[in-house]
Structure 1
Amino acid sequence: MRIAILDDYQNVALDFADWNSLDAEITVFTDPFGGRQEAVEALRGFDVVVAMRERTAFPAEVLHALPELRLLVSTGQRNAAIDLDAASAAGIVVSGTGYLPHPTAEATWALILAAARRLPAEERSVRDGGWQVPLTGEVGTALRGKTLGVLGLGRLGAQVSAIGAAFGMELIAWSRNLTAERAAEHGATAVPFDELLTSADVVTIHLVLSERTRGLLGARELGLMKQGALLVNTSRGPIVDEDALLAAVHRGGIRAALDVYDTEPLPVDHPLRSAPNTVLTPHIGYVSDDVYRVFYTDAVADIAAFAAGEPIRVMNEPAGHQ
């Protein structure tokens, strides 16, 4: 059996599970593919591919160009970059893995605190020989008594809310199906979308990317936010209109702390890299030892189960495997 492990940017996948138990030929790809054709050429001949969440796309044209592929393991419980119907038609089993939300909740708060207290600029100042020098004419912002607006109060949003409560923040929340009772269970008040944007000092996004949420925050919505408010996105880049966000941070109307982007990896010359009023991280919300151990241990178990003829955690209905 030939196994490809994709997009292992930090080259750590082999350290987090017992891959030797599979008695297979394993190839690790640490760099992203340059496009679909490069992916097809690199992956020809592999029986199994382990894909890291949504880093490499598997549309129909890629899946049908890989006739040897029989099992595609996606880390996590969903992967919008895989065409499940096309995989089913090609007879490819798609299996998922477990997932832990708490590292992303923690990373969300790392971004909030870094932006609120202007830590990246202060850290650079110390390294450059400065000491509490004027940075932008402003000082850091304390969070106690401020309002945290949570877009999406699922498992992840609820964890982020609990930490906000511990900081003494007022909690408000919105999603299309959020009830007052559900919000109250997490110490939050359910409010209309526009009211959340106009009231919150920090707006944090924890929604799944879909046709309903794509571009949810555009120029109008960003314009509703308080002067100097912070927008945090650890969900998916396209939920926010990137051009509108760039305009807003350049005006200084709002600040942004981002872990996700429309295009990933973020192009070297992307204007966000030099944008003011931003804190940027490279989609590492889920990148932690806890999560990687779950991802890769489950991936090994998925492959072993498939080899034994009993696939587990199957995300589709492939021909011949119903």
Structure 2
Amino acid sequence: MNITFEAMAAKLSAPEGWTFSDGPYGLEPLILPPAAAPDEEVERLRLATTPGDGLKALCPTLLTHGDSPLPMGTQSATGTPHPRIYWFRWITGHQISFVLWRLLIQEMRTAALADGARQARAIAAMITYVRGYCSMLLYTASCSRDLYETLIRPSMFLVHPGFSGTWAPDFAAVRQLFRGRQPGWSGSGDEAAALRRAVGLCRLIHSGVAAKLVPAGGSLLQDTPPYGTQRPELLGTLFDTYFMTARRPGCAERAVPQLLRRLEAVTLDLVEHGLAVPGEGERPLELRDEDVLEAERDLMGTMLRVGEHAAGLDASDLELQPQFVSQG
């Protein structure tokens, strides 16, 4: 696949209702508080407005389509998808993941200090955020292998020959959870089992994405000999800069609205284009697993539940919110 400047600059229409960035599939910088070490307190991300009002204002399309199965294969009717769609998905999907990790850290720490119903609510939110990360893995990796090899992988290589997701500043505090290490405060047996299933699904999807995009099995970090400095603060800054993420103290109230804006833009994209690439060929075995396929079908529903939890809705509101908004 040859991605020329002309192909990248070709006209791309925005989905109806698009308000993100300054044009179709444009990007926005993400502003987050500084990353914290696993044992440090973090600024709590929160929505400064009424939860329902925040969702209605920032996620109208997600509220309408959150109960609908993900449209599959709609891109085939419009020919070859525009490369900028997948660049948007790569950057914006990762930005969403960064906010999800921050929210996950909050709920992990709440669950560690709480018990009873409050702990159960925190674990339920954790499960939702883990499944939200599963959805973003599927979304960011929805490009073809050709496009990944000619556009995305080279862009990371140009930033650093050994560019790696392990440099993500916010991931350090949740790394052990995603590696399958169950917290000691895992709640009831049912809650612990549900969290284990969500983490297991994440690991399965991550493995499938690697098999799809890098079938030879070598990441940039694995394929590159030791190169230059290995200072963690520099590598973290390189990672943030690549994904258009800046760190500022005292900006906790900005994070959730930024998340909701991105969830709305992703919904508009998926309603317009679906997820699958036309003529993609056979998927890796991991991505043909029924649990993965179900996660794909429920991708917009998962995003809606992420938005509801992030906005601070009570558990009793979570099932009623979409219907309430659609009637209003």
- For the criterion TM > 0.5, the same-fold answer is no
Instruction: Judging by fraction of residues, say which structure has more strand.
Output: 1
Question: Would you tell me which structure has more helix in proportion to its own residues?
Answer: 2
Which structure has the larger Rg over C-alpha atoms?
A: 1
- TM-score, normalisation: structure 1: 0.29
- Return the structure number with greater relative CO, CA threshold 8 A, min gap 6: 2
What is the TM-score when the length of structure 2 is the normalising length? 0.29
